[in-house]
Amino acid sequence: MEARYYSFSQFLREKFGEKVYKLSLDGGFTCPNRDGKIGYGGCIFCSAGGSGDFCPSASLPLSMQINEAKSRISSKYTGNKFIAYFQAFTNTYGPIDKMKKLFWEVILRDDIVALDIATRPDCLPKEVILLLAELNKVKPVFLELGFQTMHEETAIWMRRGYPTSTFSDAVHILHEHSISIITHLILGLPMESKEMAIQTVDYINSLPVDGVKFTMLHVLKNTDLGRLYEKETFPLLSREEYIDWLICCVEHLRKDIVIHRITGDGKRDDLLAPTWTLQKRFVLNSITKEMKARDSFQGKEYHYGI
């Protein structure tokens, strides 16, 4: 079924001439929201793996991590172009010499066509931004910023650890250095309505953001959010509600912003709720089908960006 939006996968195929897969890596970083600089325990929904639950072990050298990550997708992909995705924890938080060693080692590999780095907007000192800008001259660098919401009350509840202004300041500085900025948004956060989610999208529209990752709120075992949920369950979006919220957000999204992800899935053994997210292919097809059915998506132009 034809997608009704311009996906990151399509963008990569156009740019590199074939399908490109991400290889999730763990650089062995931590997070200021875990080591006590800002707080302990991380964001309320964050797993013990720092959102890098599908990464190889950080104890392995990067070359071995890359080989292991390739082997995981070998049954469905035979290409030779990959994105090195430093996914776990905050990958610009730590010694600059460590970042230089890891990032340069990976980006100079012939099989790596781009670098994708997950981090926080409050962990981007000048020396780090200059390093990213230098790397970006060699191969594309995508910087993923965990943001989730523009609403300060929700951000405090989730223990994000920084105000919304910190995010906007970081985006402007990164844009000045021509670094592609991808932001993560969570739909279905407690206390937030669909209208509030759309307000966050409108806020993103006002900034020089290049890409967006949408996901729903996951409740995982062994997280503070999971412990709250096990103590007393609280409402989560149904599949139908999530699809409705998502489509409304996409309708409001600025057309030059590439959509990197429209759903998400936690590890099956760790997921408490919502369990419908485990049917990822069905969810994706349902989103596309509903987009096609809505008048607002009939003849709608693709998103273009990055």
Q: What is the mean pLDDT of residues 195-209?
A: 98
Q: Is residue 306 part of a domain?
A: no
pLDDT (0 to 100) of residue 297: 57
| d(C-alpha 147, C-alpha 124), whole Å | 14
Q: Is residue 253 part of a domain?
A: yes
Residue 208 identity: P
Q: Please name which of 193, 242, 186, 182 lies closest in space to residue 214, comparing C-alpha atoms.
A: 186
| d(C-alpha 200, C-alpha 82), whole Å | 31
Q: Is residue 302 part of a domain?
A: no
Q: Is residue 303 part of a domain?
A: no
Question: Is-contact 117 57, C-beta < 8 A?
Answer: no
Q: Is residue 123 part of a domain?
A: yes
What are the tens digits of pLDDT across the range 214-265? Answer: 999 999 999 999 999 999 999 999 999 999 999 999 999 998 899 999 998 7
| d(C-alpha 284, C-alpha 108), whole Å | 34
- What pTM did the predictor assign? 0.91
Q: What is the mean pLDDT of residues 59-77?
A: 89
% of the chain beyond a pLDDT of 70:
92
pLDDT (0 to 100) of residue 295: 65
**Whose structure tokens read 């990822």?**
280
What are the tens digits of pLDDT across the range 92-124? Answer: 999 999 999 999 999 999 999 999 999 999 999
pLDDT (0 to 100) of residue 9: 86
Question: Is-contact 42 89, C-beta < 8 A?
Answer: no
Q: Is residue 53 part of a domain?
A: yes
CATH of the domain at 67: 3.80.30.30
Q: How confident is the model at residue 142 (pLDDT cuts 50, 70, 90)?
A: very high
pLDDT (0 to 100) of residue 103: 98
Q: Is residue 304 part of a domain?
A: no
Identify the domain containing residue 149 by its residue range. 8-297
pLDDT surpassing 70 at residue 66:
yes
pLDDT surpassing 70 at residue 298:
no
Q: Into how many domains does the chain fold? A: 1
DSSP 8-state class, residue 79: -
What are the tens digits of pLDDT across the range 15-52? Answer: 898 889 999 999 999 999 999 999 988 899 987 755 65
pLDDT (0 to 100) of residue 273: 95
Q: Is residue 305 part of a domain?
A: no
Paired strand residues for 257: none
